Chain A
């Protein structure tokens, strides 16, 4: 718990985080045995508070981005007078609805550097948070079904290698070795011609990341306010002065928008419009079976990604629904299309049953890159536009946003993701994103 996170990114003028690790008790093998023998209840992982009148920073959205921002503000920069407000519960939005894939084999150098930092943070996160996030670096396969997508894979592999990331293009025979159940024959509608193989990619238990960050932020003095809906943001001139919630008024100089799918609604409170359209993204999970799939398999052309959890369920995701919506209902079209595409790849799972399906909201930007940083409204900073890649970017976004808020300077790692890029014509064009069909 006391370990200093990522020393390289901590500016020299900031204090190391205060740690009050006594509450809640630190998790360990000893505490597990103790609680197991005594059969006593575990203490709650984070506390509830009355809303104070003033905070240094108010973060809207208690998902992975909001919680990570609070956590790194506390650990790396010593800022702990923070309220994280959410109209629902911790991790109830995209943070608990994603398909939990982590990878860094993107296409643009800035994207690759950014997501790679996140992979590195994820690797140490269980120890940093004293919470097992179950990061399994099982490898990640992105399939190519035609020449043009194979060309994009080669391009991505070269960009990745230049950034020092393990990533290479492999052929159907190698794919068959990695995933024996995959139909790599040429007797299919969309034969597999190759794949981008990314060994450091894998999956994480997303709830554990939310809870771990929530607990880590709480233990350092940040306050998590669930069921606290932001109704408005008060400004004087072009400067933020506070936040109106359903539990009362808070005054603050800094408001952070970490609301992903609902980002436009919060932006509208300060009169900002951004190039964001909210699309639902559906996912589904099957009944559990014995482990047979040891990598994450993605196909851009067939719009599907599959991984198998430690419990044995297959988790499927697809591309976003083709219209803007805030509805989180599933649709039969999705399940039908998904089943068809998955069976095209792995025909032997035809008899497996889908247990449930759900949807999350994706705040899509035109260049598949986030919008992070300052805005024309002083004190109002955004960490939005997370589309289909918000979960894998959680730790690095939190770290970068914390640095931005504490130092009031934009860190290099997110400098190309600024809001001004649309006005200045500097779009990032991240065609390595999952939502992009190849």
Chain B
């Protein structure tokens, strides 16, 4: 069992959530080439390490947020930021 710290609802059982997968920056739909778009859609890093992921609290607040999780130990080092916020930060940084 994983206990997922939801930024709004607190520590909850992972069964209440949907793991939406690795957080990735979505390419600009107007300028992305098919190659970039397919890379965004399909390829995964699938690391055995700390990863930043998007989770959705479907049986709770029904909001998306980002967590940092170690995929070997399932330990969670939360960033407690919504995924949209991370994307915003990334776009400012890039």
Contact = CB atoms under 8 A, between A and B. Distances in A.
Interface of A: 262, 264-265, 268, 273-278, 322-327, 329, 331-333, 366, 422-423, 425
A364 to B, nearest CB: 10
A227 B15 CA distance: 36
A333 B15 CA distance: 8
B44 A326 contact: no
A326 B45 CA distance: 13
Contact of B1 (A262, A265, A332): A332
B91 interface: no
Nearest to B55: A323
Interface residues of B, number: 25
A273 B74 contact: no
A109 B14 CA distance: 37
A325 B44 contact: no
A324 B19 contact: yes
Contact of B44 (A273, A423, A425): A273
Contact of A322 (B18, B45, B71, B72): B18
A331 B43 contact: no
A422 B42 contact: yes
A399 B15 CA distance: 40
| Majority-rule SS of B interface residues | mixed
Interface in B1-27: 1-2, 13-15, 18-19, 21-22
B73 interface: yes
B31 interface: no
B43 A275 contact: yes
Q: Which of B1, B44, B73 has the most CB of A within 10 A?
A: B44
B38 A278 contact: no
A276 B45 CA distance: 8
Interface SS majority for chain A: loop
> Which 9 pairs from chain A and chain B are nearest by CB?
A264-B46, A323-B19, A275-B42, A273-B43, A326-B48, A326-B72, A422-B42, A331-B1, A327-B74
Interface of B: 1-2, 13-15, 18-19, 21-22, 35, 38-39, 42-48, 51, 53, 71-74
Contacts of B39: 273
A339 to B, nearest CB: 15
Contacts of B51: 324
B46 to A, nearest CB: 4
Nearest to B35: A423
Contacts of B71: 278, 324-327
B14 to A, nearest CB: 7
A398 to B, nearest CB: 24
Given A275-B43, A275-B44, A327 B21 contact: no
Contacts of A332: 1
Contact of A324 (B18, B35, B46): B46
A331 B3 CA distance: 12
A423 B38 contact: yes
A275 B39 CA distance: 9
B59 to A, nearest CB: 12
19 contacts: A264-B45, A264-B47, A265-B47, A273-B43, A274-B43, A275-B44, A278-B71, A322-B18, A323-B2, A324-B46, A325-B71, A325-B74, A326-B48, A331-B1, A333-B1, A422-B38, A422-B43, A423-B35, A425-B38
